[in-house]
């Protein structure tokens, strides 16, 4: 079993930045694909970004491309999401997830961290 804990959320003004972290425990995630998702009030959860186990393949939703950067530090068993040029529409609960078999199927999820962007 893998436990994922997100941190780094908060309240920021539009145009600001936040860095989210997802710390894994219970098992090494070095061989797992990892992803970030978000869910805004009244909306379905949506994909934000993903990173392959090697870090060599990155993927982003169109809405965050060029503003957000996903990265990983396998020595720390942690995945990050650097969010720049934040917009009010980025307001959501952000979740990280683990894809143990690298088949874009996320079996483990964190509890989420709230990001609120004020106009």
pLDDT tens digits for range 21-40: 999 999 999 999 999 999 99
Between CA 44 and CA 111, with CA 64 as vertex, the angle to 5 degrees is 45
First to last CA, the chain: 40
The per-residue pLDDT for 93 is 98
Q: What is the mean pLDDT of residues 30-52?
A: 97
Which pLDDT score is estimated for 40?
A: 97
Mean pLDDT for all residues in the chain: 97
Token pair belonging to 75: 């020595």
Q: What is the percent of the chain with per-residue pLDDT over 90, rounded to a whole number? A: 95
What mean pLDDT is predicted for residues 45-73? 97
Please state the rounded mean pLDDT for residues 8-25.
98
Report the pLDDT value the prediction gives residue 60, as an integer from 0 to 100. Answer: 98
Task: Please tell me the predicted confidence (pLDDT) of residue 88.
Answer: 97
User: What confidence tier does 90 reach under pLDDT thresholds 50, 70, 90?
Assistant: very high
Distance CA 89, CA 45 (A): 14
DSSP bridge pairs for 38: 46, 94
């Amino acid at each position: 079993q893998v436990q994922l804990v997100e941190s780094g959320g908060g309240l920021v003004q539009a145009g600001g930045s936040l860095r989210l972290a997802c710390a894994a425990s219970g098992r090494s995630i070095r061989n797992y694909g990892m992803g970030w998702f978000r869910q805004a009030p009244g909306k379905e959860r949506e994909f934000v970004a993903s990173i392959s186990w090697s870090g060599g393949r990155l993927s982003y939703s169109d809405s965050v491309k060029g503003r957000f950067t996903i990265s990983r530090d396998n020595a720390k068993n942690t995945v990050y999401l650097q969010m720049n040029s934040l917009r009010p529409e980025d307001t959501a609960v952000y979740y990280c997830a683990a894809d143990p078999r690298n088949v874009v199927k996320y079996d483990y999820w964190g509890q989420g961290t709230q990001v609120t962007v004020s106009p």
